[in-house]
Amino acid sequence: MGVGLLVGGAFLFVVANDAFTEISLEIDEKKVTEKLIKGDSKASSKVAIITIDGMIVSDADGFIARQIRAVIADKRVRAVVLRVDSPGGTMSGSDYYHHLLKKMKSERSIPVVVSMGSVAASGGYYVSVIGDEIYAEPSTITGSIGVVASLFNASELLEKIGVESTPVVSGDYKTMGSFMKPMSEEERALFQRLIDDNFDRFKTIIREGRSEFANNPAKLDKLATGEIFTADDALKNEMIDKIGFLDDAVERAISLARLTKQECKVIRYTPKLAFVDMLMESRAPGTLLSGETLSKATTPKIYLICPRVVPVE
């Protein structure tokens, strides 16, 4: 038998049967939990692994943001390893997490070492350049420095099935980017300007994070073509600092923090779900085709993404 109670803003869930009674109290659903990776659990100093994996989208209350805020709030964290395994995502999401990471570095003045996983491309590289040093695994794919807008033209299909778009608008460009009509040359020029502005910001972020390119912008321009690079090529082009695995990045972070392995512990953050979140996970099938989901799918977005390495299921 299960009983749910709301107690002072916290959800109390009691499970009872003949064998046992279990009480779980979730006070703050926004926090994260810590998982000990290595070291003495009683050590006061911590090296925290922040994980950014999968598609990057902006979420102010999401797991990535909660990890970063946990580091800002925890004075026992003396260094951070940023584990990136992502083909990129939206421009706004990549820029937002870069902003939070930059704020973390400013407020805490702690070293940040990046550990790239299988892929850290486009938006994945965007967030990676916040690191004081960047490690990539031997098989890492990185680069894909560039910007793309997700735009579609289904006007011929709609015409074949008898659907006509008749919007009433306040200006000539209010429907620019609509998949229900062909794009005009004027609209394409406006979108190109948006892409160029965001591309300039992408390169500015890289130059701020990598002194090699701050001192040689032309070198970055040669690499910023959307091309993807192996770890060896990225090292030759000074896009990364070392080839190594997560353990190597952790050891370097410990060294930069002037700690020893004996006096610190390495932790990784994991999501902490409130009971209401677990209920939401079991929602009925079919919600993927909600009006909100369809609206998001057809809204033009600007992406920092490497489509060649996006997994397809």
Considering 38, 75, 103, 174, which one is annotated as catalytic? 174
Mean pLDDT, residues 102-124: 96
* Res 133 pLDDT > 60: yes
Name the average pLDDT for the chain. Answer: 81
pLDDT digits (tens, 9 = 90+) for 49-66: 999 999 999 899 899 999
Q: Cα separation of 175 and 112, whole Å? A: 43
Considering 86, 115, 122, 178, which one is annotated as catalytic? 122
Which is more confidently placed, 210 or 304?
210
Compute the CA torsion angle 211, 214, 218, 221 (nearest 10 deg).
80
Ranges 60-64, 226-230, 306-310: which has the least confidence: 306-310
Which is more confidently placed, 71 or 305?
71
pLDDT digits (tens, 9 = 90+) for 262-301: 999 999 999 876 555 555 544 444 434 444 444 444 455 6
Residue 181 has phi, psi (to 5 degrees) of -150, 155
- pLDDT score of 306: 66
Where do the structural domains in the chain lie, given as residue ranges? 1-28, 31-148+217-274+298-309
- pLDDT score of 254: 97
Q: Please answer whether residues 66 and 100 qualify as being in contact, where contact means their C-beta atoms are separated by less than 8 angstroms.
A: no
- Cβ-proximal residues to 283 (8 Å cutoff; 6+ apart), any chain: none
Verify whether residue 122 is a known catalytic residue.
yes
- pLDDT score of 277: 53
Verify whether residue 105 is a known catalytic residue.
no
Question: Does domain 31-148+217-274+298-309 bear CATH number 3.20.20.70?
Answer: no
Please state the separation of Cα 274 from the chain's center in Å.
22
Q: Please answer whether residues 137 and 177 qualify as being in contact, where contact means their C-beta atoms are separated by less than 8 angstroms.
A: no
Residue type at 230 in one-letter notation: T
